[in-house]
């Protein structure tokens, strides 16, 4: 059994927001939830930087908070509004049911007796966040929500990076951040192209023949 409660409240909040995002169907709300999650992780990085006296973590936290936490939701919101896509009903099972299933899976994972020995305590939040991001990416049909799922997965990796005892070098963190930003912009552009060509961004019907 894992004593998750002793983990930082901010990373717990990021996991809880991620779990609740699984149940959201409105695109605007998904982006807002992703923004809240990233702001929480940025604040966590700043707090860790202040606690351990590492200015690197502080700067990384600020940059993440502004660019990823505020910039990306705004950008994706503009893209979504131009495309006119509002709701994402999800694939196979309804979002609330998916939320329950993920909660059950997480509970099973965390309450299994041998787990505390296999996975160290500081890895658990990032592991759960990566899992939630992957599940979100896999079970959505619109291209934009799949991008948000990928971004949540990257949030999990970022959390792993800052929760290590020895933090990652500044250049690596910045490199990953630039990659993520570039990837998101390309994803937004691709969503535009999809919408131009097919008049929708529903990935499940992309194989239909037209005309």
Partner 1 sequence: MTALALYLANIVVLPLLLIGLIRKGKARLLNRAGPPLFGPFYDLWRLLRKEEVVSETTTLVFRAAPLVNLAAVLAVALMVPWAGAASPLRGDLFLAIYLLALGRFAVGLAALDAGSAFGGLGASRESTVSIQAEPAMVCAFVALAARAHSSSFQAMFAASPADGLGLVLVPLVLVALWLATMAELARMPVDDPTTHLELTMIHETLFLENSGPNLALTEFTVALKSVVLLGLCAQVARMPWAGLPPWTGEPLTLALIGLAALVVVVTESTAVKMRWRRLPNFLSFALVAALLACLLVALKG
Q: Is 17 exposed, middle or buried (0-12, 13-18, 19+ CB in 10 A)?
A: buried
* Residue 87: HSE in the Cβ half-sphere, 13 Å Cα cutoff: 5
Between residues 10 and 83, which has the closer beta carbon with respect to partner 1?
A: 10
Stretch that binds partner 1, among 50-58, 72-80, 91-99, 162-170 (CB under 8 A): 91-99
The answer to whether residues 123 and 71 touch, using CB atoms and an 8 Å cutoff, is: no
Q: Contacting partner 1 (CB under 8 A), which of 111, 182, 189, 206?
A: 111
**DSSP string covering 39-81:** HHHHHHHHHHHHHHT-HHHHHHHHHIIIIIIIIHHHHHHHHHH
Between residues 50 and 103, which has the closer beta carbon with respect to partner 1?
A: 103
CB of 104 to partner 1, least distance (A): 9
The answer to whether residues 46 and 26 touch, using CB atoms and an 8 Å cutoff, is: no
Stretch that binds partner 1, among 31-39, 92-100, 190-198, 202-210 (CB under 8 A): 92-100
- Distances in Å between the alpha carbon of 18 and those of 11, 137, 165? 10, 12, 24
Q: Determine if 13 is a binding residue for partner 1 (CB under 8 A).
A: yes
Q: Determine if 91 is a binding residue for partner 1 (CB under 8 A).
A: no
Q: Determine if 32 is a binding residue for partner 1 (CB under 8 A).
A: no
What's phi and psi for 173, nearest 5 deg?
Answer: -60, -45
Residues that bind partner 1 (rule: CB under 8 A) add up to a total of 24
The answer to whether residues 74 and 32 touch, using CB atoms and an 8 Å cutoff, is: no
Q: Determine if 119 is a binding residue for partner 1 (CB under 8 A).
A: no
Q: Determine if 62 is a binding residue for partner 1 (CB under 8 A).
A: no
> Residue numbers of the site for partner 1 (CB under 8 A)?
1-6, 9, 12-13, 16, 19-20, 23, 25, 94-96, 99-100, 103, 106-107, 110-111
């Amino acid at each position: 059994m894992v004593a998750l409660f002793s983990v930082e409240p901010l990373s717990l909040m990021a996991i809880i927001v991620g779990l609740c995002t699984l149940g959201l169907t409105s695109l605007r709300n998904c982006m807002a939830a992703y923004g809240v999650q990233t702001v929480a992780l940025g604040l966590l990085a700043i707090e860790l930087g202040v606690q351990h006296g590492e200015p690197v973590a502080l700067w990384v936290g600020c940059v993440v908070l502004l660019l990823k936490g505020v910039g990306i939701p705004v950008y994706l919101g503009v893209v979504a509004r131009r495309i006119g896509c509002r709701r994402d009903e999800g694939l196979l099972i309804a979002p609330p049911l998916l939320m329950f299933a993920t909660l059950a899976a997480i509970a099973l994972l965390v309450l299994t007796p041998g787990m505390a020995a296999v996975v160290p305590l500081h890895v658990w939040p990032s592991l759960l966040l990566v899992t939630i991001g992957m599940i979100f990416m896999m079970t959505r049909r619109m291209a934009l929500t799949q991008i948000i799922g990928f971004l949540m997965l990257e949030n999990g990796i970022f959390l792993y990076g800052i929760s290590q005892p020895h933090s990652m070098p500044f250049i690596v963190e910045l490199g990953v951040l630039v990659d993520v930003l570039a990837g998101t912009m390309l994803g937004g552009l691709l969503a535009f192209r999809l919408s131009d060509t097919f008049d929708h961004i529903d990935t499940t019907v992309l194989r239909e023949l037209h005309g």
